[in-house]
């Protein structure tokens, strides 16, 4: 971290912010919602973060009128304000705010979240699966795509806001979906392993063309076409390069990509109509929802409830810790024995 970053009063990472702290520094904006108070006044509900985590921010109507809100999720911002507690949670009250250009931030990496997993290891895991896929032509196309687009795949986020929205998030999500599909294959025997696993690996491949290399914004093609259609084109182009574009499996892989969002209102041109497409759709949805809950619970209160999350349409609950009941049972058994 640069010793000169940022100027007064000194950089405090999100995980170290506490009630009463004054704030004058850069952050990355994760989410922004314009809402109204009970009296009908506008305010901004913000999620503000750095590489260590995220914190809620509130920008009241006076500050909005003075500074506007010409910024959005993914933007870097500079904030002046203070930290206070509300319902057992710390939040930043924003007095001043502006969008910041990345070039003015001495060390932008401290503001960008990165997957905790080694992307090279995840890529090798996917390649090891690809070489086992049948028919062999399918495995070769998947491996070709993984090799050709390895750099983008290992750095791209899986989304801008909703889940795995950080550097390396895409390959983390793809690996998690692939592992879960593999687990389902141990139970469901009527599923085509090659098509299901290839679909799991490639279902979001269009995101490497949807996002800019820095992952902070979408490309023109990403905005106008979207990752679903871009993914289908990428896979078909790879099949053409390998001379296997007439293979029967190609339409099935394209169908998985086209249908993995499940419903037309969620961006799927078609609904899943094969076993393999159905599995990838539900596992993709499961993995994203589990990640949303995991990240929501980073800001859980002392009772184990997260702030309201619009993607969950409620407040996530941490629940009992794994093994807690067993520990109680052991303790109770010990007490009975001593009696």
Determine the pLDDT at residue 7.
40
Give percent of the chain above pLDDT 70: 89
Same domain, 128 and 276: yes
Q: Using CA atoms, how far apart are residues 35 and 41, in angstroms rounded to an integer?
A: 8
Shared domain check, 227 and 88: no
Establish if 144 belongs to a structural domain.
Answer: yes
**Containing structural domain, residue 187:** 119-294
pLDDT at residue 333, as a whole number: 44
Domain boundary pick from 85, 111, 137: 111
Higher pLDDT, 293 or 123: 123
The 10s digit of each residue's pLDDT in 268-311 is 788 999 999 999 999 999 998 998 888 878 777 778 888 777 77
**Residue 9 located in a structural domain:** no
Counting every residue, how long is the chain?
339
Quote the percentage of the chain above a pLDDT of 90: 49
Q: How many domains does the chain have?
A: 3
Query: Is the model's pLDDT at 121 over the cut of 70?
Result: yes
- pLDDT score of 125 more than 90: yes
Q: Say whether both 97 and 143 belong to one domain.
A: no
Residue 10 clears pLDDT 70, i.e. is over it: no
Give the CA angle between residues 154, 160, 162 to the nearest 5°.
105
- In a shared domain, residues 132 and 226: yes
Judge if 183 and 288 occupy the same domain.
yes
Q: What is the pLDDT of residue 249?
A: 96
In this predicted model, which residue has the larger pLDDT, 252 or 18? Answer: 252
CATH number of the domain encompassing residue 129: 1.10.3210
Residue 214 binned pLDDT confidence (cut-offs 50, 70, 90): low
- Who wins on pLDDT, 234 or 161? 234
Pair (82, 164) in one structural domain:
no
Is 153 found in the same domain as 57?
A: no
| 28 located within any domain | yes
CB atoms within 10 A of CB 164: 24
- The predicted pLDDT at position 243 comes to 94
- pTM of the full structure: 0.76
> Could you tell me if 31 and 70 are in contact, meaning their C-beta atoms sit under 8 angstroms apart?
no
Q: What is the pLDDT of residues 54-81, one digit of tens each?
A: 888 999 999 999 998 888 877 899 999 9
| pLDDT tops 50 at residue 323 | yes
Q: Identify the helix (H) or strand (E) that includes residue 36.
A: strand 22-36
Residues 256 and 153 in one domain: yes
- Mean pLDDT (the chain) is 85
Is 338 contained in some domain? no
> Residue 87 has what pLDDT?
74
């Amino acid at each position: 971290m640069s010793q000169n970053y940022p100027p007064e009063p000194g950089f405090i990472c999100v995980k170290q912010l506490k009630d009463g702290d004054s704030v004058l520094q850069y952050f990355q904006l994760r989410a922004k919602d314009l809402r109204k108070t009970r009296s009908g006044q506008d305010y901004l509900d913000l999620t503000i973060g750095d590489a260590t985590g995220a914190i809620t921010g509130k920008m009241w109507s006076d500050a909005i009128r003075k500074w506007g809100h010409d910024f959005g999720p993914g933007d870097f911002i500079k904030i002046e304000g203070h930290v206070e507690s509300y319902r057992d949670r710390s939040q930043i009250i924003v007095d001043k705010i502006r969008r910041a250009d990345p070039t003015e931030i001495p060390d932008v990496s401290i503001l960008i979240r990165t997957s905790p997993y080694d992307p090279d290891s995840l890529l090798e895991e996917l390649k090891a699966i690809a070489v086992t896929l049948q028919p062999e032509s399918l495995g070769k196309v998947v491996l070709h795509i993984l090799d050709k687009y390895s750099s983008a795949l290992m750095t791209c986020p899986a989304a801008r806001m909703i889940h795995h929205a950080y550097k390396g998030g895409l390959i983390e999500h793809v690996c998690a979906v692939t592992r879960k599909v593999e687990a389902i294959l141990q139970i469901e025997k009527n599923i085509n392993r090659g098509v299901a696993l290839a679909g799991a690996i490639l279902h979001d491949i269009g995101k490497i063309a949807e996002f800019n290399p820095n992952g902070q914004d979408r490309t023109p093609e990403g905005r106008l076409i979207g990752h679903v259609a871009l993914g289908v084109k990428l896979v078909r182009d790879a099949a053409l390069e390998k001379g296997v574009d007439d293979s029967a499996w190609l339409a099935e892989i394209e169908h998985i990509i086209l249908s993995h969002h499940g419903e037309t209102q969620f961006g799927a041109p078609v609904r899943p109509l094969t076993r393999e497409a159905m599995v990838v759709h539900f596992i993709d949805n499961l993995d994203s929802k589990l990640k949303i809950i995991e990240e929501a619970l980073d800001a859980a209160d002392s009772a184990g409830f997260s702030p309201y999350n619009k993607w969950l349409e409620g407040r996530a609950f941490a629940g009992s810790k794994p093994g807690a009941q067993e520990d109680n049972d052991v303790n109770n058994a010990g007490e009975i024995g001593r009696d």
